[in-house]
Amino acid sequence: MSLNIHKSTKWFLIILACLVLLALGVVGGYYLIINKNQTAKNGGTQNTNTSGSAANTVPEEQAQNGAGWKIFKNFAQSYLIEYPDGATVENASASEGEKDKAANEATCVKISTKYVWVIIAGRNISSDTFCLTTGFGTEWSNAPDEQVTAAGQEYTAHGMKTEAASAGYYKDDYLITLTSGEKIEYGISVNEKYDNQMTKAQAKELVKKIVASFSPAE
């Protein structure tokens, strides 16, 4: 009699254990499905606190010239100008006390690619700061005046040029003084015969696009 009771208790405990394991499996599966669905709703990531994360980051200011362009802001001289990807932005001053400053604090800034360049002398630049081009070699001659836009206003630019038509080489350098006080020097350097990456016309269009994006701040 006692032996039968012992066997019954043993089987009861085995069945109870199986039921408990089954119940745990069902509950665990339920929470796994719920968590998976929640993760899918959150774009594949766990639902965590996004304070200070990319979700709350202010989007980078977009250049007016569109994709492939960036905005450079000079805080010391209070202006901004756009430039294409791959261009170099640097402090162009050669004066002591100026040449070691960051570009956004410099009174003289140069934006350049292999084919074009733009130099901005700020409105507050001192007379002894070496910035703009001061002389040209004997191979240079007067370039025809041209129209260029800066800060929404049209200017007549005066310049110099040097070229070798037979070699497809052309280089020019122009200067304008803005009503807000800044001076902008810009130019191109292309060789259509040996470098077909950019023509003279394309370089002109690019450099004028950079200059046109200039905007002074009051």
Domain extent listing, the chain: 1-57, 69-216
Q: Whole-angstrom Cα distance, residue 169 to residue 193?
A: 7
Which of the four pLDDT bands, split at 50, 70 and 90, describes residue 18?
A: low
How far is residue 50's CA from residue 6's CA, in Å, rounded to a whole number?
A: 59
Domain 69-216: give its CATH code. 2.60.120
pLDDT 10s digits, 37-71 = 554 444 444 433 333 333 333 345 788 899 999 99
pLDDT digits (tens, 9 = 90+) for 185-215: 999 999 999 998 999 999 999 999 999 999 9
Task: Please tell me the pTM assigned to this model.
Answer: 0.71
Alpha-carbon span 206 to 197, nearest angstrom: 13
The Cα–Cα gap between 146 and 175 comes to 10
- The rounded distance, in Å, linking the Cα atoms of 187 and 161 is 9
